[in-house]
């Protein structure tokens, strides 16, 4: 590719120089042009306070997951049976559970599991959805009919039920739960990608690519996919809450992450019999799920305003 030239920006050093570099109307490299695009999107995104709240929550989740060993005292699985069911205190911020494990530690370590699930699902679902959707939308005809009927079959079942069926077939466990969630989540992405593709497949820039002699694969990858990506990303962010909840639901039913892994849904399940007397045991993981789900939703709403081509030029 073309040479990357961050030097002009790095050299300037000062904030004003960077700003000028980011806002210059004559970018001198592809790298600068992309940075400018990101920067302008970020500027309009950061003007939306609610979206920023979502962004900060997700940022916090990432930081906490990355620095879990520094924040916690153990790995969240060590049992101290004489400290069972202690209420929140200075020593145990969120209290302890029925096996004397520190709930704060478990929540922090659990954030890694949540992120692991979410990231893995995204990595499976986005390419599959994009591939199916763009191919169906661009080629049309019987390819479209077959691919979309398959998509419809997956769309027709409630997500948790379908995930349950898959997990019972595949056997319980975190990886299988991720696989089951991915299998039940990709179909709306295919629909979105197809809808986007239908609106752009006769656009003049796609025709222009055909007249340049571009192959169908190249058009799908280089011309169609970039335009579907933003709505898919928005949808993914908004779907994150659902993915987390499904994962938690599977965990709650004992079909997801297995003990002693500190998965939030499983933590609620384990602690549910203490709800009345030791409320913190099931409630705190519940709050964690709520906060992270909400964070993704707020972030998704903000991203939609920035990325969605229909809401104006970025």
Q: Give which of 238, 256, 237, 239 is closest to 247, Cα–Cα.
A: 256
Of 23-31, 76-84, 172-180, 234-242, the segment contacting another protein by CB under 8 A is 23-31
Considering only residues 187 through 226, tell me which ones interact with another protein, judged by CB under 8 A.
203-205, 207-215, 218, 222-223, 226
The nearer residue to another protein, 137 or 262, going by C-beta atoms, is: 137
Token pair belonging to 306: 């920035």
Q: How far is the CB of 266 from another protein (least distance, A)?
A: 42
Q: How far is the CB of 24 from another protein (least distance, A)?
A: 10
CA torsion 268-255-257-252 (nearest 10°) is -10
Q: Give which of 295, 300, 143 is closest to 232, Cα–Cα.
A: 300
Of 20-28, 64-72, 77-85, 256-264, the segment contacting another protein by CB under 8 A is 20-28
Neighbours of 167 (CB within 10 A): 21
Applying CB under 8 A, does 272 fall inside the site for another protein?
no
Mention every residue, 6+ apart, whose C-beta is less than 8 A from residue 29: 2, 3, 4, 5
What gap in Å lies between CA 42 and CA 36, rounded to an integer?
10
Applying CB under 8 A, does 46 fall inside the site for another protein?
no
Q: How far is the CB of 234 from another protein (least distance, A)?
A: 15
The nearer residue to another protein, 35 or 124, going by C-beta atoms, is: 35
CA angle 201, 202, 207 (to 5 degrees): 95
Applying CB under 8 A, does 33 fall inside the site for another protein?
yes
> Which residues of this protein are in contact with another protein, per CB under 8 A?
2, 25-30, 32-33, 37, 203-205, 207-215, 218, 222-223, 226-227, 309, 313
């Amino acid at each position: 590719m073309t040479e990357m030239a961050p030097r002009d920006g790095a050299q300037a050093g000062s904030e004003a120089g960077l700003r000028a570099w980011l806002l210059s109307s004559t970018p001198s490299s592809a790298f600068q042009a992309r940075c400018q695009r990101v920067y302008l999107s970020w500027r309009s995104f950061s003007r939306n306070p609610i979206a920023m709240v979502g962004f900060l929550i997700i940022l916090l989740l990432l930081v906490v997951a990355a620095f879990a060993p520094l924040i916690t005292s153990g790995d969240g699985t060590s049992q101290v049976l004489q400290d069972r069911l202690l209420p929140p205190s200075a020593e145990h911020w969120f209290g302890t559970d029925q096996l004397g494990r520190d709930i704060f530690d478990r929540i922090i370590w659990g954030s890694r599991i949540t992120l692991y699930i979410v990231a893995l699902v995204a990595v499976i679902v986005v390419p599959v959805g994009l591939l199916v959707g763009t191919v169906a939308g661009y080629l049309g005809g019987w390819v479209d009919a077959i691919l979309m009927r398959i998509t419809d079959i997956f769309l027709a079942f409630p997500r948790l039920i379908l995930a349950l069926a898959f997990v019972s077939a595949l056997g319980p466990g975190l990886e299988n739960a991720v696989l089951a969630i991915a299998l039940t989540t990709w179909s709306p992405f295919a629909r979105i990608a197809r809808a986007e593709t239908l609106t752009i497949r006769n656009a003049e820039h796609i025709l222009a690519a055909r007249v340049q002699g571009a192959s169908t694969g190249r058009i799908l990858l280089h011309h169609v996919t970039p335009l579907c990506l933003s709505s898919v990303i928005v949808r993914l962010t908004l779907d994150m809450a659902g993915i987390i909840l499904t994962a938690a639901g599977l965990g709650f039913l004992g079909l997801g992450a297995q003990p002693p892994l500190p998965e939030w849904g499983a933590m609620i399940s384990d602690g549910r019999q203490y709800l009345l007397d030791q409320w913190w045991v099931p409630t705190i993981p519940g709050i964690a799920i709520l906060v992270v789900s909400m964070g993704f939703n707020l972030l998704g709403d903000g991203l939609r305003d920035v990325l969605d081509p229909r809401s104006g030029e970025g």
